[in-house]
């Protein structure tokens, strides 16, 4: 019989919710350090150019300017801002703090530190840059043409090709009754976190560099800084204050090297915060992509072969583009039983802002194309898309459990169809009339749980009991508003029979918290949750051992009471505070446990989304009226946070499908770098959303749980795009589907 859970599965507010809603939480941008200077950057006005000279004389004379740094005088060490390990051969080094070649409009040219932000802004306008302009390429096809300008001397524009295959494509396509070939284009989009990028560096007289930064990878940032400035890790400390959203965009160390260079030059703390316009063009984006999809099917909807080729626009620097491409190629293998398939992914360098990790990590581009084509195929064959998916999706297979666990995408579809009334609504599509059309669409998506087996994936946690029986948790986790640290607290509380209020966490500080890979790849619940489970169990055993001594009883006669105490069969009890006092007085030992957990398996989360839209042919407006999302998560840990994660993921996906795109002019300059022109989905645009979860357990997850974070976004864009196509009776191959496209 399974253990009854008292915390897990409940609705627990995020640990700092009260501070957030009252405005009392202090983010990096709120910090003030005595003597702190303020920095601003000079950005390239050219898409591709050599820097011949930088005249800083006039700016240096401005009262209040304390330092100016450029490519002439800062380390020219090549690095990758997304590096994970101290010796990281996975990532290609293509960046410098300031390069002598500008590779996109907005590339870093120089930075000024001044007594206030106003003075720093004045100073950057007084810096004059002399360029030797070079040819530029902005789309992947142009970048791959023979004779195209090469962005880097030692790296080809087609950085690296990644591929995976199974079966025999030639045989598979030969057995197909019909073959479909389509090309889809997905846009470059921005993360648009509520909190812009911000970092503060402090370099003290002992040679210690301390950086406070809005990051989701403190240990990765430490690696970057140690490499650039040739510092031992004892002399680099990276601290994450509260983080106002990230979505993958705060993995790379973008501002940290700049503020470090200024702090080391001035000997004073330096703060650099991007405004919203800068946050658009000077930080990483989601890869735009060209996806070629070729699928062979039989007349009953059985898919016999599929070939997918994806070109990712990775922008000016490699960053994590290679990892995004490599992660993407396995999506079809994880989700479908297609016997003959091959997928390739190629990151391509262009003279646009660098692309990198963003929620879904290649999945949104892949599934957008695949699920839109599947909708087209199903309609052409005269079958329902859900029937086609159910025919071809993976399911729990006794022979494959060890390798794939318990994938349940079919359960997601079946549950979602019922909640959405899929068959009933589809039957009413003919009710659309005049300029107002009603449409219905659905899509499936998936995402992995961590990076196993690609490379090491572990975290270490520390739990310490205080004299009053409360606990401190030291975790390298970066809570991004997704309740991950709260979930760790819930798991520890579950194991100890206490409430989360009895646990106080310290998170993401390279000098205080143990090592963590970083918070991305949807590894939160599956990997760090398992670590919390192991940590709580270890502390429980230590408590029971000491309680047995204190109560002079056998360990087997003891149980946790659920109120911070231990009880024996005779009804005698000892509180955690008394047990701690016993440890101090009798053993003269603190009660601290340290546990590491390394991922033991690769597992996949699935989601099926259903959308109802209303399309106005005259205005081009699309209203999303109703939405159902069902996800296979094994077991819900925190129902409040998982619903919020899913609703937020849907909001991102709807914008991806209908409104969001970073648009550039012919010179490579971003023309919609503000929230008025860059159209995110607002609260008033959101439909009624019904969320549900398949909780049938995953073999390697804590309490059977697996993650939802990135999978929440992946199916949402193709679901709503398919609904618009259904309303228009016309296929769309370029996202986003904007009003002008519909009116045309």
- Tell me the domains of the chain and their CATH numbers: 17-24+457-598 (3.30.365.10), 31-134+192-281 (3.90.1170.50), 393-449+603-743 (3.30.365.10)
Q: In this predicted structure, what is the pLDDT of residue 434?
A: 81
Question: What is the distance between the alpha carbons of residues 531 and 223, in angstroms, rounded to a whole number?
Answer: 23
Over the stretch 348-373, which tens digit does the pLDDT of each residue have? Answer: 999 999 999 999 999 999 999 999 99
Over the stretch 596-605, which tens digit does the pLDDT of each residue have? Answer: 999 999 999 9
Q: In this predicted structure, what is the pLDDT of residue 732?
A: 85
Q: In this predicted structure, what is the pLDDT of residue 504?
A: 97
Question: What is the distance between the alpha carbons of residues 307 and 93, in angstroms, rounded to a whole number?
Answer: 31
**1 falls in which pLDDT band (50, 70, 90)?**
very low
- Reply yes or no: is the peptide bond before residue 342 cis, omega within 30 of 0: no
Joined together, the tokens standing for residue 558 give 């003891």
Q: Where are the alpha helices (DSSP H) in 587-729?
A: 639-658, 716-728
**46 falls in which pLDDT band (50, 70, 90)?**
very high
The pTM of this model reads 0.96
Joined together, the tokens standing for residue 15 give 């640990």
Backbone angles phi, psi at 510, to 5 degrees: -65, -20
Q: Mean of the pLDDT values across residues 713-720?
A: 98
430 pLDDT higher than 60: no
C-alpha torsion sign, points 320, 708, 736, 279: negative
Q: Mean of the pLDDT values across residues 573-589?
A: 96
Helix (H, G, I), strand (E, B) or coil at 215: coil
Q: In this predicted structure, what is the pLDDT of residue 493?
A: 97
Over the stretch 623-673, which tens digit does the pLDDT of each residue have? Answer: 999 999 999 999 999 999 999 999 999 999 999 999 999 999 999 999 999
* Residues 709, 521 contacting (CB under 8 angstroms): no
Q: Mean of the pLDDT values across residues 173-194?
A: 98
C-alpha torsion sign, points 129, 133, 134, 135: positive
Catalogue the long-range contacts made by 645-648 (C-beta closer than 8 Å, 24 or more residues apart).
645/482, 645/483, 645/708, 645/709, 645/712, 646/689, 646/691, 646/708, 646/712, 647/686, 647/689, 647/691, 648/712
């Amino acid at each position: 019989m399974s253990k009854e859970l008292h915390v897990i599965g409940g609705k627990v507010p995020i640990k700092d919710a009260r501070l957030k809603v009252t405005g009392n939480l202090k983010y990096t941008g709120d910090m003030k350090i005595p003597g702190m200077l303020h920095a601003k950057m000079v950005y390239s006005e050219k898409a591709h150019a050599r820097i011949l000279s930088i005249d800083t004389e006039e700016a240096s004379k401005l009262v209040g300017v304390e330092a100016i740094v450029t490519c002439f005088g800062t380390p020219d060490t090549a690095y990758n801002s997304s590096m994970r390990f101290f010796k990281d051969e996975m990532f290609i080094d293509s960046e410098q703090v300031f390069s002598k070649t500008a590779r996109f409009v907005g590339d870093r040219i120089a930075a000024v530190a001044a007594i206030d932000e106003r003075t720093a802004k004045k100073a950057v306008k007084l810096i004059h840059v002399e360029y030797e302009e070079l040819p530029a390429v902005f789309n992947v096809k142009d970048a791959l043409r023979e004779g195209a300008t090469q962005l880097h001397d030692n790296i080809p524009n087609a950085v690296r090709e990644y591929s995976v295959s199974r079966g025999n494509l030639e045989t598979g396509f030969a057995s197909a009754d019909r073959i479909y070939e389509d090309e889809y284009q997905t846009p470059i989009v921005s993360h648009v976190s509520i909190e812009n990028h911000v970092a503060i560096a402090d370099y003290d007289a002992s040679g210690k560099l301390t950086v406070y930064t809005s990051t989701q990878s403190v240990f990765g940032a430490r690696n970057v800084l140690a490499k650039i400035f040739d510092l031992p890790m004892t002399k680099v400390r990276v601290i994450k204050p509260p983080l106002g959203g990230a979505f993958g965009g705060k993995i790379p160390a973008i501002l940290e090297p700049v503020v470090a260079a200024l702090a080391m030059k001035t000997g004073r703390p330096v703060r650099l915060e991007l405004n919203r316009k800068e946050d658009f063009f000077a930080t990483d984006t989601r890869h735009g992509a060209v996806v070629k999809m070729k699928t062979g099917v039989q007349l009953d909807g059985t898919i016999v072969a599929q070939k997918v080729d994806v070109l990712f626009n990775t922008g000016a620097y490699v960053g994590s583009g290679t990892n995004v491409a490599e992660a993407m190629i396995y999506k079809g293998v994880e989700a479908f039983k297609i016997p003959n398939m091959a997928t390739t992914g190629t990151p391509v360098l262009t003279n646009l802002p660098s692309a990198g990790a963003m929620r879904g990590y290649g999945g949104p581009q892949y599934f957008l194309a695949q699920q839109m084509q599947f909708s087209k195929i199903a309609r052409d064959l005269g079958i329902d898309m859900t029937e086609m998916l159910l025919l071809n999706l993976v399911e729990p297979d006794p022979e494959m459990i060890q390798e794939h666990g318990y994938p349940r995408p079919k359960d997601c579809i079946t549950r979602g169809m019922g909640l959405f009334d899929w068959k009933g609504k589809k039957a009413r599509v003919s009710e659309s009339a005049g300029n107002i059309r009603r449409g219905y669409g659905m899509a499936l998506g998936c995402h992995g749980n961590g990076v196993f087996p690609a490379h090491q994936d572990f975290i270490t946690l520390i739990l310490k009991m205080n004299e009053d029986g409360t606990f401190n948790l030291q975790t390298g986790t970066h809570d991004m508003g997704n309740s991950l640290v709260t979930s760790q607290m819930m798991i520890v509380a579950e194991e100890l029979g206490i409430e989360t209020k009895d646990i106080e966490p310290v998170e993401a500080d390279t000098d205080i918290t143990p090592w963590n890979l970083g918070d991305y790849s949807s590894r939160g619940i599956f990997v760090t949750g398992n670590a919390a489970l192991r940590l709580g169990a270890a502390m429980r055993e230590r408590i029971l051992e000491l309680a047995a001594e204190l109560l002079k009883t056998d360990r087997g006669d003891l149980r946790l009471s659920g109120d911070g105490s231990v009880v024996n069969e005779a009804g005698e009890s000892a509180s955690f505070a008394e047990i701690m006092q016993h440890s101090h007085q009798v053993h003269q030992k603190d009660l601290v446990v340290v546990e590491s957990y390394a991922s033991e398996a690769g597992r996949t989360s699935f989601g099926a989304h259903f959308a109802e839209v209303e399309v106005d042919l005259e205005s081009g407006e699309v209203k999303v009226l109703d939405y159902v999302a069902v996800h296979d998560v094994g077991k819900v840990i925190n129902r409040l946070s998982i619903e919020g994660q899913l609703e937020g993921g849907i909001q991102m996906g709807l914008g991806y499908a209908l409104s969001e795109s970073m648009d550039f002019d012919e010179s490579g300059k971003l023309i919609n770098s503000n929230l008025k022109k860059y159209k995110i989905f607002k609260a008033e645009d959101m439909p009624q959303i019904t969320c549900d979860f398949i909780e049938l357990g995953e073999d390697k997850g804590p309490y059977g749980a697996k993650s939802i974070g990135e999978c929440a976004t992946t199916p949402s864009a193709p679901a709503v795009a398919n609904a618009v196509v259904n309303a228009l009776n016309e296929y769309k191959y370029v996202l986003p589907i904007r009003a002008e496209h519909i009116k045309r």
